[in-house]
Chains A and B, each alone.
Chain A
Amino acid sequence: MKKRDVPQDKSNLESTQSKELCYAVNEKGEYTTAHSSGWEPKTIALDNAIAEINARIENARQNVIRNKTSPLAYYMEVHKMDVPILASYVGMWQWRVKRHFKPKVFAKLSNKILQKYADVFEITIEELKEIKHGD
């Protein structure tokens, strides 16, 4: 890439007022570094991934409202986790975490176990039992 072609597109980096460093060739053909504020294809890909996640969060939220799954599944999506990641944070087997996604099983969980989940999501047990339905 030529140094003058280093992309200066709008991106999410703006929020931190930071720029990325990349390697590019100057007029003499020598490698040098340049700052980039972002590149559109990358931003589109990232936005795409975020949209996917938001769709999964919404889907999980609906499932909680319809009592098809416990709020754990919703909070897992909010924290961009999947079952293996959540299981390793709470130090339980994956099948156990999956079981806790069943509303009936979830309702009977002890406070000790609920506290483990609440700590991972940095919320209280009360918040863990309720998800915000309104917004």
Chain B
Amino acid sequence: MEINFTHHQSAHCENGVVSNLMKHNGFNVSEPMVFGIGSGLLYCYLPFLKVNHAPAITYRAMPGAIFKRFAKRVGVKIQHEKFKSPAKAKARLDQNLKNNNPVGLQVGVYNLVYFPDEYRFHFNAHNLVVYGKEGDHYLISDPVMETVTTLTEKQLEKVRFAKGALAPKGHIYYPKAFPEKLDLEKAIIKGIKHTCKDMLAPVPIIGVKGIKMVARLIRKWPKKHGVKKANHYLGQIVRMQEEIGTGGGGFRYIFAAFLQESSKILKNEKLAELSEEMTVIGDLWRDFALDASRIYRNRKAKMDAYNDVASQLETIADKERAFFKTLRKAV
């Protein structure tokens, strides 16, 4: 059985799943709209969470949060379910497909066989849509892939029941009730206010302050840990920032696209100006990634090089602080 589902590629998996499921149900909501209304943009330094033996940094809201906030703000009801038993999880999936209902699944990346090997790490908060089944194969629309793909029953069970941090536990979700018309105006303002609050939070590891903290740490790393480890940490920052088209620069561009779209919906010229400003900040994030990658490519980097990229990050933090303060006043 195959549901008539249109696959649209997206830059980020959670936005993509939400946008694609909404489009399937007749609401044309773009990926940036989902990201902005769901307040996806965030910066948080998580020293206690190690990814590949280096401290983690997240550039986005907690997995699931974007969909939850988006749904609440536009008035869509979502059905969520988690399972202990793989058999029950499969039965619920099959039942939905039989009812002609494509569903979102949270899955682990490590066993997603259609990804290049190098991209397969133990990360459990990837999202995809299942839109049908042919024999032993589930039809998969993974929003970060250019085209649709398939997984066998066994392969799908493995990724749905991946273990470790953020284990998906067969998590299945789909929108089940919609308002007559989406009230985007109010939702956009709520989304923007929330993001401003997050980015300007008076907490040392979150938002602009978190960026400053990482900048300070980068200055200390080579002395504290030696060049080898400092390089590994720096490489890890770039990876978490730029993997699969999102992260530092990528998310800023999606946010800028959201502001541009919102400027038309709210008829607010200031948002269009701020969109341009955010694009400039996104470019600065990319410059930072480029310079950081040069450091660990020429292993014998000088101390100055670390100080240089740290200063770049501080400049970004200052610009973002000013940006989000202005944005808060603009809506």
Please judge, given known A-B contacts A41-B290, A82-B50, whether A16 and B238 are in contact too, CB under 8 Å.
no
Q: Are B122 and A80 within 8 A (Cβ)?
A: yes
Which single residue of chain B is at the shortest CB-CB distance from A25? B279
Bound Cα distance from A67 to B9, whole angstroms: 49
Q: Is the CB of A31 within 8 A of B260?
A: yes
* Contact present for B11 and A20 (CB under 8 Å): yes
Chain A residues with CB under 8 Å of B146's CB are 18-19, 21, 35
Please, how many angstroms separate the alpha-carbon atoms of A84 and B147 in the complex? Answer: 34
Question: Could you tell me if B163 and A41 are in contact, using CB atoms closer than 8 angstroms?
Answer: no
> Which listed segment binds B: A47-55, A108-116, A124-132?
A47-55
Q: Are B289 and A42 in contact (CB under 8 A)?
A: yes
* CB closest chain-B residue, reference A56: B53
Give which listed residue, A1, A12, A15, A48, contacts B286 with CB less than 8 A: A1
- Cα of A53 to Cα of B236 in the assembled complex, Å: 13
Q: Flag whether B55 is at the interface (Cβ < 8 A).
A: no
**A85/B254 in contact, CB under 8 A:** no
Q: Does B250 lie within 8 Å of A15, measured CB to CB?
A: no
Asked if A24 contacts B121 (CB within 8 A), the reply is no
- Interchain CB contact under 8 A, B245 and A20: yes
Q: How distant is the Cα of A20 from the Cα of B245 in the complex, in angstroms?
A: 6
CA distance A27 to B19 in the complex (A): 26
The A-B contact count (CB < 8 A) is 121
**Which residues of B have CB within 8 Å of A22?**
11, 245, 250, 253
State which of A1, A19, A41, A42 has its C-beta within 8 Å of the C-beta of B279. A1
Q: What sequence of 0s and 1s flags, for each residue 248-278 of chain B, a beta carbon within 8 Å of any chain A beta carbon? A: 0110011011001100000000000001100
- Residue interface mask B130-173, A partner, CB < 8 A = 1: 00000000000000111100000000000000011101000000
CB-contacts of A73-132 with B (<8 A): 79-82, 84-85, 88-89
Q: Is the Cβ of B118 less than 8 Å from the Cβ of A50? A: yes
**Contact in complex: A20, B244 (CB < 8 Å):** yes
Which single member of B121, B256, B257, B293 contacts A45 (CB below 8 Å)?
Answer: B293
Nearest Cβ in chain B — how far from A38, in angstroms?
10
Task: Tell whether A21 pairs with B144 under 8 Å between CB atoms, given A1-B283, A12-B119.
Answer: yes
- The docked-state distance in angstroms from the alpha carbon of A31 to that of B164 is 38
> Separation in Å of the A1 CB from the closest CB of chain B?
6
A contact residues around B286 at 8 Å (CB): 1
Q: Which residues B1-23 have CB closer than 8 A to chain A? A: 9-11
Q: Please tell me if A46 contacts chain B, counting CB pairs below 8 Å.
A: yes
Is A29 an interface position by the 8 A CB rule? Answer: yes
B residues lining the A interface (CB < 8 Å): 9-11, 32, 50, 52-53, 110, 114-122, 144-147, 163-165, 167, 231-232, 235-236, 238-239, 242-245, 249-250, 253-254, 256-257, 260-261, 275-276, 279, 282-283, 286, 289-290, 292-294, 296-297
